[in-house]
């Protein structure tokens, strides 16, 4: 009768595995053209060599974005509800914005968005998590920050368009995670940020990175 327990082949090999991480790969791009010049982002068509052949792919060429989980002393997160036309929903989401100001550092951009969208400033900033929204269809990279030591900004901003009727709500982190797991809220930055914040808090916030941590997806490395 075969023995049970102990280390099988997979278990024994586990210690030799490299650190789990995506692999950055360079390919030879023979053509890259904007086939749709959009109001906010473009659609780009590229031809590139891969394996033994040549492939052609269209994708959304996106400037990237930042979002912020503003956390108060009671572990409540400040959310906004904003209309998103493609899905015909007013979604709960963290304050966020595009990286569409030339030369503006990501940290400066997210600090500006926090002030412009909810009239807040923060004394303490960390990187919570980075992610790629839709790798098969666009190159959008989003960095989510954690902001603490919150205070009112020195001025308020006039909001227009989808921002004109935004609602604000402070939500406990555990309550937010419950809403995420029940799929009552589905904004990707909210979902990813909520789960990352809960996991980081459970580890004593040891997973947080400096606010100016390298961001290869935005820096081309």
Q: Of the listed 3, 158, 163, 175, which one is catalytic? A: 163
Count how many domains the chain has: 2
Verify that 101 and 146 share a domain, yes or no.
yes
Tens digit of each residue's pLDDT (9 = 90 or more) over 179-210: 999 999 999 999 999 999 999 999 999 999 99
Verify that 57 and 72 share a domain, yes or no.
no
Host H or E run for residue 142: strand 141-152
CA distance 79 to 92: 6
Verify that 106 and 56 share a domain, yes or no.
no
pTM of the model: 0.88
User: CA nearest 146: which of 114, 116, 170, 184?
Assistant: 114
How far out from the chain centre does Cα 32 lie?
26
Bridge pairing between strands 89-93 and 76-84: antiparallel
The predicted structure's pLDDT at residue 157: 64
In residues, how long is the chain? 221
Tell whether the model's pLDDT for residue 221 goes beyond 80.
no
Residues 115-131 have a mean pLDDT of: 97
Query: What is the CATH classification number for the domain harbouring 71?
Result: 3.90.79.10
Tell whether the model's pLDDT for residue 77 goes beyond 70.
yes
Last residue of a domain, one of 36, 61, 86: 61
In our burial notation (b when 16+ CB lie closer than 10 A, e otherwise), range 184-217 reads: ebebebbbbbbebbeebbeeeeebbbebeeebeb
Residue 167: active-site member: no
Domain membership of residue 54 as a residue range: 24-61
| Bridge partner residues of 77 (DSSP) | 71, 171
| Weakest-pLDDT range from 32-36, 151-155, 217-221 | 217-221
Q: What single string gives the DSSP state of each residue in 80-91?
A: EEEEEGGGTEEE
Tens digit of each residue's pLDDT (9 = 90 or more) over 86-96: 999 999 999 99
5 inside domain: no
Tell whether the model's pLDDT for residue 110 goes beyond 60.
yes
The predicted structure's pLDDT at residue 162: 67
221 inside domain: no
User: CA nearest 43: which of 61, 23, 66?
Assistant: 61
Contact 131, 192 (CB under 8 A): yes
Bridge pairing between strands 141-152 and 65-70: parallel
Residues 72-80 have a mean pLDDT of: 97
Verify that 57 and 76 share a domain, yes or no.
no
Contact 76, 155 (CB under 8 A): no
The predicted structure's pLDDT at residue 49: 96
């Amino acid at each position: 009768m075969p023995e049970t327990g102990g280390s099988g082949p997979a278990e024994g090999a586990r210690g030799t595995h490299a650190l789990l991480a995506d692999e950055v790969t360079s390919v030879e791009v023979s053509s890259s053209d904007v086939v749709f010049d959009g109001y906010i982002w473009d659609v780009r068509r590229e031809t590139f060599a891969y394996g033994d052949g040549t492939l052609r792919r269209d994708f959304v060429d996106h400037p990237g974005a930042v979002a912020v989980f503003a956390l108060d002393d009671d572990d409540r997160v400040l959310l906004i509800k904003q209309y998103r036309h493609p899905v015909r929903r007013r979604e709960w989401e963290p304050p966020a914005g595009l990286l569409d100001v030339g030369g503006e550092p990501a940290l400066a951009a997210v600090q500006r968005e926090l002030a412009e969208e909810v009239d807040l400033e923060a004394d303490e900033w960390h990187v919570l998590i980075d992610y790629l929204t839709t790798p098969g269809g666009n190159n959008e990279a989003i960095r989510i920050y954690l902001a603490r030591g919150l205070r009112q900004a020195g001025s308020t901003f006039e909001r227009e368009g989808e921002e004109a009727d935004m609602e604000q709500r402070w939500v406990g982190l555990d309550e937010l995670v419950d809403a995420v797991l029940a799929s009552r809220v589905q904004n990707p930055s909210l979902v990813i940020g909520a789960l990352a914040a809960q996991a980081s808090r459970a580890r004593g916030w040891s997973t947080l990175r400096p606010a100016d941590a390298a961001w290869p997806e935005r820096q081309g490395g």
